Amino acid sequence: MRATILGKCRQIFAALCLALLPARADDKPANPDAAWLAEHYTKYEHRIPMRDGVRLFTRVYVPKDDTTNYPVLLTRTPYAVKPYGVDNYNDPGGSFATLAKDRFIMVSQDVRGRYGSEGKFVHMRPHNPSKGPKDTDESSDAWDTIDWLVKNVPNNNGQVGMFGISYPGFYTSMGMIDSHPALKAASPQAPITDWFIGDDLHHNGAFFLSQNFGFFWWFEQPSDDPLRDAGRKFPFKNPDGYDFYLRMGALGNTDKLFGGAIPAWKEFLDHPNYDAFWQARNIRPHLKNVRCAVLTVGGWFDGEDLFGALETYRWTERQNPGITNLLIMGPWTHGQWSGGPGDRVGDVKFNAKTSEFYREKIELPFFRRFLKGDTNPVLAEAQMFETGTHQWRKFDVWPPKEAQTQTLYFHPQGRLALGTKPAEGAGALDEYVSDPAKPVPFSLEVTTDYPRGYPTHDQRFAAARPDVLVYETEPLEEDLTFAGPLTATLHVTTTGTDADWVVKLVDVYQPDFPNPEPNPAYLQMGGYQQLVRGDVMRSRFRNSFEKPEAMKPGQLTKIEFTIPDVLHTFRRGHRVMVQVQSTWFPLVERNPQTFVPNTAWAKPEDFRKATQQVHRSATAASGLKVSVLPARKPAGK
């Protein structure tokens, strides 16, 4: 989930401002602020009763113009609906300026157990499909809230929408399950779906350390005045996260650093496998009885919940035939679409204000269509930004039916070939020594958290290391577009009994790629190795996430896993590269490379060097499966 804690706070409140409010087009506020909001809206605060008697703090902004009725837009959040007090108005930002062209009744609610709301907070509270009359979950809390709003808020038109980013995206997903009749539109954005398989805390069982450690400290810290305090940062006393976490030792030592003050964190560490604890928090099977239009939004460079957006769309489509179910994927980091222009990530520029386009041409029209009855425009099933060419594309279904599956195979001398299997006999392989004491960094930026732009970072520093395997094509003669999920297939041997396998898809720019102007950072974009997608698989889970198995030293073993989708064009003159490594630190906790029951509690002597071998023979061909889109025909042909 996590940027720097302060950055995370800013992002959260920018996302919450999505739930602030709009004015009429003729008002045309150039820069809406708290004073403008107070002029056009009346603020109310309610404690809405749930079916079990618990009351949830809810902020409601109602347009002062009462000549018509307005739809309701609801955001449910664990991040506080500050500032509290009916005379205290938000200083809106983010997408507020776009939404200000239209009026909605804007509602934000503290979920149970957080800030102004009663009850007990539970992380990713499991869905209960067999609720009794007084049983509650996030779906029922949303239902009860919507029911109260349409019956009690003046000048509402009986039409309700929900939206939110990240954790509020999760609450939006939960709110559309068994939809209330008044809920007509829902937009889960970067929603959490499964904290063990692909979102935030783990990817394929490997724990993501640096993007979660500081966040959960901030999130869980008790406060003397939670309605006013901004939260506390963890006192790292070391700006270099790589050094800090390496000195810390095994993952379990984080609990010692927390002083046992974060019970949820200890609970996470005590469940190293995909047991009932995590399975209950997989919301995908519960995305049923969705009776509203859905607009799922995600970012191609979201280091936290890219998996969640793609999976929410897929499972909603699969389990709710016939509904309007749309997918939007842009070139964004976590929540980047909610504010700012969206014209770049890190060193990679898109030559377009993609976030502004989304807010004006996609998000607002979606809510206008399903809450206000607009008939135009009709949005595409999948509207996706194609990175590499930097253009929006529309598809009738995602992944595109016309995409053809091919494999990028590993060959001798670091060659990579599309569709051509290796011809070498048994024993053809490449190897490296993985040393947990000297893990491969995931970024060269000095930070205790994670830089938002790391999913586009230049990988030349990694390619130069002896513990990273590199395979690349010749310069492309024509553009090559991949569209859809990736599948890594590695045939490996190891001298250890456990290992992580990180696979990265990289776009290598041509040598004469122009540098930016001006160029104060002295960037050298010629030969830039842009990370397009990367993910990790923990070997112990190769056959089952529920029942981990040790690797047998020296035994040839197949490791296969799915990597989240891409829509990326490698331009003519560029090269396609795949990198393979066994550490990605401190983004991912270090695997001791010795099979222990729980890596969090590994002892210092458990961390051992291992020789990792990746085979590339005719009978054990390793590579990356991709979906290739046919070349686009020139206009007029």
Whole-angstrom distance, CA of residue 616 vs CA of residue 461: 25
Task: Give the mean pLDDT of 590-611.
Answer: 98
Q: Which residues pair with 588 in a beta bridge?
A: 208
Whole-angstrom distance, CA of residue 420 vs CA of residue 427: 19
Per-residue confidence band for 2, with pLDDT thresholds at 50, 70 and 90: very low
Whole-angstrom distance, CA of residue 190 vs CA of residue 222: 27
Q: Is the pLDDT of residue 23 over 70?
A: no
Q: Is the pLDDT of residue 19 over 60?
A: no
Per-residue confidence band for 29, with pLDDT thresholds at 50, 70 and 90: very low
Q: Is the pLDDT of residue 605 over 80?
A: yes
DSSP 8-state secondary structure symbol assigned to residue 348: E
- The pLDDT tens digits for 137-161 are 999 999 999 999 999 999 999 999 9
* Best-predicted range by mean pLDDT (167-171, 217-221, 376-380): 167-171
**Contact in structure between 390 and 350 (CB atoms under 8 Å):** yes
Whole-angstrom distance, CA of residue 145 vs CA of residue 151: 10
- The pLDDT tens digits for 56-68 are 999 999 999 999 9
pLDDT at position 99: 65
pLDDT at position 102: 77
Q: Is the pLDDT of residue 635 over 60?
A: no
Q: Is the pLDDT of residue 7 over 80?
A: no
Per-residue confidence band for 232, with pLDDT thresholds at 50, 70 and 90: confident
pLDDT at position 4: 39
Q: Is the pLDDT of residue 101 over 80?
A: no
pLDDT at position 3: 39
pLDDT at position 164: 94
Run of H or E residues at 504:
strand 500-508
Whole-angstrom distance, CA of residue 144 vs CA of residue 55: 11
Whole-angstrom distance, CA of residue 311 vs CA of residue 46: 34
Q: Is the pLDDT of residue 607 over 60?
A: yes
pLDDT at position 636: 54
Per-residue confidence band for 224, with pLDDT thresholds at 50, 70 and 90: confident
- The pLDDT tens digits for 235-292 are 999 999 999 999 999 999 999 999 988 999 999 999 999 999 999 999 999 999 999 9
pLDDT at position 93: 66
Q: Rounded mean pLDDT of the chain?
A: 92
Enumerate residues 6+ apart whose C-beta is below 8 A from 237: none
In order of 389, 391, 393, 479, the CA distances from 636 in angstroms are: 20, 19, 18, 19
Per-residue confidence band for 634, with pLDDT thresholds at 50, 70 and 90: low
Task: Give the mean pLDDT of 104-132.
Answer: 96
What is the pTM (predicted TM-score) of this model? 0.93
pLDDT at position 91: 73
Helix count and strand count (H, E) for the chain:
14, 25
pLDDT at position 16: 37
Whole-angstrom distance, CA of residue 227 vs CA of residue 546: 40
Task: Give the mean pLDDT of 457-485.
Answer: 98
Enumerate residues 6+ apart whose C-beta is below 8 A from 77: 12, 16, 108, 109, 110, 111, 114, 164, 167, 168, 171
Q: Please state which of the ranges 29-33, 160-164, 321-325, 348-352 shows the lowest mean pLDDT.
A: 29-33
Taking phi over 0 as left and psi of -120 to 50 as alpha, with beta for the rest, 413 belongs to left
Per-residue confidence band for 598, with pLDDT thresholds at 50, 70 and 90: very high
3-state secondary structure 548-592: CCCCCCCCCEEEEEEEEEEEEEECCCCEEEEEEECCCECCECCCC
pLDDT at position 95: 62
Task: Give the mean pLDDT of 472-486.
Answer: 98
Q: Enumerate long-range contacts of 378-384, CB under 8 Å, 24 or more apart.
A: 379/295, 379/326, 380/326, 381/325, 381/326, 381/327, 382/326, 382/327, 382/328, 382/329, 383/326, 383/327, 383/328, 383/329, 384/327, 384/328, 384/329, 384/567
State percent of the chain over pLDDT 90.
Answer: 86
Per-residue confidence band for 12, with pLDDT thresholds at 50, 70 and 90: very low
Structural domains present in the chain: 5-193+283-395 (3.40.50.1820), 404-629 (2.60.120.260)
Enumerate residues 6+ apart whose C-beta is below 8 A from 202: 195, 196, 208
Higher pLDDT, 260 or 162: 162
Task: Give the mean pLDDT of 294-305.
Answer: 98
pLDDT at position 378: 80
Question: The dihedral of CA 316, 322, 324, 326: what is its sign?
Answer: positive
Q: Please state which of the ranges 278-292, 306-320, 366-380, 468-482 shows the lowest mean pLDDT.
A: 366-380
pLDDT at position 9: 38
